[in-house]
Structure 1
Amino acid sequence: MGTRVAASLPRNGTRQTILNLLKKSDGLTADQLADQLGITTMAVRKHLATLEREGLVETTPSRRPVGRPARVYRLSRRADELFPKQYDLLVTDLLADLLELDGPGKVEMLLARRAERTRAELEHRLARARSFDERVQILAQGMDELGYLAVWEKLDDSTYLVSQYHCPIREVASAFPAACRLEAQMYRDLLGVEIERSCHLLTGGHCCCYVIRATDTPAGACA
């Protein structure tokens, strides 16, 4: 899992308008953008240079009958992240349909398969850990790269805390609590100890917090 930095909306209104225009086209030159925006081509080029540095636009040369080729600007794949999507709603609706058609067993089976894929990927990374500290650290880093904004800390010699400040499947988890239970079980399986969820986003907490004790004594796990 490589670190992936999400694109963010440009704070400049003109640059956002440029992105909107490019989204609705198959590519535009600086002159064409200037005509649509009602500003100079030089001003447009400055905005485009910024967007290009941010990895939000790409250019290709376009042949002209005479003169130098014009640069045609198009959105990059990264820029597509800036536009609204409803993947969470789509997944939730599909799972609701599956629940209605085949019952809760099939829904849980599907969620369990996803959890198993995540567990297998993280387990591969944990194989290089030389201590329990490193196992917790690698697990937290892996969850962070999956979009959970996860951080970890060591509370004492045998107690750790992993805090996840974002849930990329929050809408799914709200409708199907098994997703949260499977996540907690994944933590237990990967670390080989009991864990306790001391804070939960879905019950009003500011994060999902897992207390991990590096002992064989059960921690009163909460799923």
Structure 2
Amino acid sequence: MFLPGFRELVKEGWVKVIEELKVSGGLPVSELSRRLGTSYMGMKDQCDKLVKMGYVERWRLPRQEVGRPEIMYRMAPKADAIFPQAGVGLSLELLDAARTLFGDTAPERLLLQYFSQLRERWRPKLTKTRSLVERATMLSGLREKEGCFGRCRYDPAKGFRIEEYHHPLHAIFAAYPGAIHLELRMMEELLGTRVVRREVPGGRGGPARVDYEVATLGKTEVTQI
């Protein structure tokens, strides 16, 4: 099943191509065009555009008989994200099960381990930066790869901050608010400075978001997770 809502944002032809490649495992343009009822050149153009975007990849299949290898198209690993994965619902059920089996502190211990592993995975990348602002900007980019959506802002009056408009752990934070503090400690430890988290409600001024204000003047000692 194609990710709900996503098919409405992309060309229907691209959806059909990816779904057909998902089912078949890989096809040449000639067979794709036959199955989907389009012209050969029109199908080739769609496949090549999907290749450029990284959702489809091209490879050559050697012929068993004499002749040139046949050019085939198949889904690229990037396209896996288009299809639903086990997500927040499963995570909440597992945390609830851990609390039932191992006590009230079990979910927080699991979340602590998650943020600790995330910190250790990101630390080598961030140590290569030359300034705090560069480090915070890279951290924002790493968070986006985990599913967050935000923008970095800087102005003389308010300083540097990361404005986030989506967080994949939002439902988990609602059920286990202590995880918010664990994530904040991870960010402070990675940046080596104080970070203030502020929830900004939506309204006429814009959509709801969470601001992470990064202290850029001096450093603060941060306790290791």
TM-score (norm. length: structure 1): 0.74
Match of 1:43 in 2: 42
- Aligned-residue offset at 1:108: 0.8
- Aligned-residue offset at 1:155: 4.7
Match of 2:55 in 1: 56
Distance in 1 between residues matched to 2:171 and 2:118, nearest whole Å: 19
Q: Does the Cα contact within 8 Å between 1:200 and 1:208 map onto a contact in 2?
A: yes
TM-score (norm. length: structure 2): 0.74
Q: Is 1:199 aligned to 2:216, yes or no? A: no
Matches within 5 A, 1:39-188: 39-58=38-57, 59-65=59-65, 67-128=67-128, 132-134=132-134, 136-156=136-156, 159-188=159-188
Q: Is 1:210 aligned to 2:209, yes or no? A: no
Unaligned runs of 5+ residues in structure 1 are 1-6, 219-223
CA change 1:14–1:128 in 2 (3 A) is closer
Aligned length: 211
Distance in 1 between residues matched to 2:49 and 2:134, nearest whole Å: 40
- Aligned-residue offset at 1:182: 0.8
Q: Does the Cα contact within 8 Å between 2:7 and 2:15 map onto a contact in 1?
A: no
Unaligned runs of 5+ residues in structure 2 are 1-5, 202-206, 221-225
Q: Does the Cα contact within 8 Å between 2:163 and 2:209 map onto a contact in 1?
A: yes
Q: Does the Cα contact within 8 Å between 1:158 and 1:214 map onto a contact in 2?
A: no
- Aligned-residue offset at 1:10: 7.3
Distance in 2 between residues matched to 1:157 and 1:128, nearest whole Å: 28
- Percent identity, aligned pairs only, is 26
- Aligned-residue offset at 1:181: 1.9
- Which segment is superposed worse, 149-158 or 166-175? 149-158
Match of 1:3 in 2: none
CA change 1:64–1:100 in 2 (3 A) is same
CA change 1:31–1:104 in 2 (3 A) is same
Match of 1:30 in 2: 29
SS in 1 for 2:105: helix
Q: Pairwise CA RMSD of aligned residues?
A: 3.6
SS in 2 for 1:24: helix
SS in 2 for 1:165: strand
CA change 1:66–1:130 in 2 (3 A) is closer
CA change 1:9–1:62 in 2 (3 A) is farther
